[in-house]
Amino acid sequence: MKKTIIKGAIVILVFFTALFVISGIMNKGNTDMTAEMADATLPVISVNYGGHEINKMFGYREAMETSQMRESITPLASGRKINLVINPYQNRINEIAYELRSVDGSRLIENTEIREFEQAEDKIEVSFGLKDLIESNREYLLVVVLTLENGEEIRYYTRVIYPEEYYVIDKLDYIVDFSTRTFDKEAAKELTKYLESNSEGDNTNFGRVTIHSSFNQVTWGDLEVTRESRPEITIKDIGPQTGNFVMQYYVSMPYGGEIHYYRVKEYYRVRYTADRMYLLDYERTMDQVFDQKGDAYANNKIMLGITSEETEIVESDGGNVIAFITGNRLFSYNVADNKLAFLFGFYDGNHSDERALYDGHRIKILNLDEGGNVTFLVFGYMNRGRHEGQVGISVFFYDSTVNTVEELVYIPCEQAQELLIEEVDQLSYINKNGMLYLKWKNQFYAINVINRSCEVIVKNLDEESYKVSESNKMVVWQKDGNGYGSRELVLMNLTTGNRKSIQAEVNEVIAPIGFMGEDLIYGIARKSDIVEDYAGNTIFPMYCVRIENETEGILMEYQQEDIYISSGEVTGNQIILKRLKKEGDTYKETLDDQIMNAESIEDNKNAVEIAAVDKYEKLTQISLKNNIDAATIKYLTPKEVLFEGGRSITLTDAEGRLENYYVYGKYGIEACYTDVGTAVKTADRISGVVVGEDGGYIWRKGNRKLRNQIMAIQGEELSEERSSLAVCLDTLMAYEGVVRNSEYMLEKGDSVLTILEEGLEGAQILDLTGCSLDAVLYYVDREIPVLVMMQDGSAVLLIGFNEKNTVVMNPESGTVYKVGMNDSTEWFEKNGNHFITYIRSQE
């Protein structure tokens, strides 16, 4: 798959065009008017729960959409009380009030002003009880509103729950004790019973330690670490048995005659029992705070130290300039001029200012030219500066000639920063003409950063209807319909803005699979081969897979007789194809196949390396093409260009867009899907939760009772007039008080999903095909039956479980009986784990 490499005069022309465009942008402002980024100003609120200071909240200047404001959950104390600790940070606070709302924000339950509080310079403590208007064990949203002296209202968000017996103090005490013991090897011996040390643990990197790591790794090996800050605890999820917690703090450590500082984050998932506490999952990350003016250079290396994530690095075409992100801060280094510039970062070296340390944002390098000019993106919560307390996207330009950073465009957002980060991470690219391309709310946007205009390129994207290349330079989408009905793909080169149409033949449809480099992989299926199963799920067997280049056309075609491709996954330099074999009118899974990419990847002149260094284990460093003269290196801290007026643009909202399902994991949102089954499978794998658009739970890991059975459902036998599937559907709907003739509806061609959607008005029907038995027992635990469909067209209802068995209602025998858990798992897996269930509107 050889690509055409354009060099010479065209590259020179593009380079100078880019300089001209950017210069035009810069000349619009007055670069003599500059200043340093303003310090953070807003107050911070935390919760005192039984002596533990938890759930730090940062202020928002705008009212946010509430359904996904899920950074923390605060358990209420006895009497529905909550104790707040406010650090005003030199602000005079005139009023304190709070709103209690339903999780989706639509229902205001309480709106109360706290009339009496004592203003102090460094701390205001406020305690109040919520009114008797809430249910126990049900989540709500609390919005605390501080009115500052200038009349501005600042909002703070946390979910709240009034638990019956959640043993929150026991869980908090446990994680604090666990963390403290890791700093003392003798005291830490008590922790061995909680660890699951095995071969899954990586004992060569302090950057990421897990429950599977060795005792020595968990207790910091031979590192001489000292805790430098009080741990900050955030409760991410809480239930009667389990709880998910994140703890953050700083440590210091001597290294080569200097003291280095590290940001540490710990994740705990624990389960409480009357006998003891269980550690279900544990992870600790450690990231060095890069000190650009310290002893961080040796030969041709920039030493970043211990890190938990891959370091993002971009180099100019000639390799003379690099830009890199470490610790959520952006730097550039000019190899030829021996200059290192700190381009952007809310953290300014002050470990005590929690506002600057908050990591609710991301930075992405969009473009770097040979002159050292950098275009970059900052998106998420803005800790300080011009947009402090807002959520949005800022496009910045660093001009190396005058050493300034200028904001070109700001895009405000009313959704939680986690949602913004998740989607913008999927696509964000700027070309030489100042066109910025973003994905947001299932739409592709094209934004002109020069005249600050925007347009929607394509709407209503689901995860299968579009693909983006790793570089973000190429995107593809189905033109005339998502899923399985499209006859045309649109391949767009975001560098040039050119589009290419790829069409299927008559009576055929086409779907994107992914990219290998910048080459598109797609599949073609005959309409006559596409079938639906009993549940209404579409089987999309592609008889042909092609790899096509924008300019060179079709590079490769994969096609075998009687073999069909159900899906493909690009992994490294190969495409793994999931295959089906047609037997009569049905498709059966067969062995995977793969397509290899023999094209070599061009080596960069500067690259990130991992070095093994004695007791410090793996250290991250950047290897440059030339040696660094540490004695003469020049350090730059650019100032921000001031300008009059605003440079904001608002993105148009999608109308009738697809519903999203949000998967939350250890530290926050992990993924966003339009397919609920994919979301549940992902959450099950990472021990997370799935949340719908309204903020309500679709699925949660853990907190399931040991046994439960829906006693209201009794055995009912099939007959000549009613199939087992119809019996199951009728029984399920009768359980919800609905009478339907499902056999009639099946005979006239209605799918199972259609029958349930029409019958269970107000409920959300969930197709969980491919999910595990263990996952769908979540619904049975909540008194919701699960329909299990078999490959022969029959069905049973899953209505109970205990530690060793499931309970099913089988119309074949007309009885309710137990099936061993292992036997159930095997039975359902052989039939494709074809589960369908629902959640009620109030769930």
pLDDT at position 832 is 86
Q: How would DSSP label each residue in 391-451?
A: EEEEEEEEETTTTEEEEEEEEEE-S-HHHHHHHHHH-EEE-TTSEEEEEETTEEEEEETTT
Question: In this structure, are residues 637 and 35 in contact, taking their beta carbons and an 8 Å threshold?
Answer: no
Could you give phi then psi for residue 679, rounded to 5 degrees? Answer: -65, -45
Question: In this structure, are residues 384 and 619 in contact, taking their beta carbons and an 8 Å threshold?
Answer: no
How high is the mean pLDDT in each 10-residue block of the chain (843 residues)? Answer: 40 42 43 80 97 97 94 96 95 96 94 88 92 94 97 98 95 98 97 96 96 97 95 96 96 92 97 95 97 93 96 94 96 94 88 85 96 96 96 97 96 95 94 94 92 91 90 93 81 96 94 93 93 71 94 93 90 88 84 80 82 93 94 94 89 76 94 93 95 94 91 95 96 96 94 95 93 97 96 95 97 97 95 93 62
Q: For the chain, what is the largest distance between any 2 Cα atoms, rounded to a whole number of angstroms?
A: 91
Residues ≥6 apart with Cβ < 8 Å to 394: 377, 378, 379, 382, 387, 407, 409, 410, 411
Three-class SS of residue 276?
coil
pLDDT at position 119 is 80
As to burial, measured by CB atoms within 10 angstroms (0-12 exposed, 13-18 middle, 19+ buried), residue 412 is middle
DSSP state letter for 36: P
Token pair 């950017």 in the structure block, residue: 22
Spatial distance between the Cα atoms of 458 and 223, rounded to a whole number of angstroms:
52
Q: How would DSSP label each residue in 656-679?
A: SPPPPEEEE-SSSEEEEES-HHHH
Spatial distance between the Cα atoms of 544 and 558, rounded to a whole number of angstroms:
6
* Paired strand residues for 709: 800
Spatial distance between the Cα atoms of 70 and 561, rounded to a whole number of angstroms:
50
* Paired strand residues for 610: 620
Around 254, how many Cα atoms within 13 Å sit in the side-chain half-sphere? 4
Could you give phi then psi for residue 180, rounded to 5 degrees? Answer: -65, -40
Give the β-pairing of 153-161 and 474-478: unpaired
Spatial distance between the Cα atoms of 601 and 667, rounded to a whole number of angstroms:
34
pLDDT at position 572 is 77
pLDDT at position 172 is 98
User: Which parts of 109-212 fold into alpha helices (H)?
Assistant: 168-181
Residues ≥6 apart with Cβ < 8 Å to 571: none
User: Computed from CA positions of residues 396, 399, 403, 406, in that sequence, does the dihedral angle turn out positive or negative?
Assistant: negative
Task: Please give the structure tokens belonging to residue 362.
Answer: 């991301």
Which amino acid is it at 88?
P
Around 282, how many Cα atoms within 13 Å sit in the side-chain half-sphere? 25
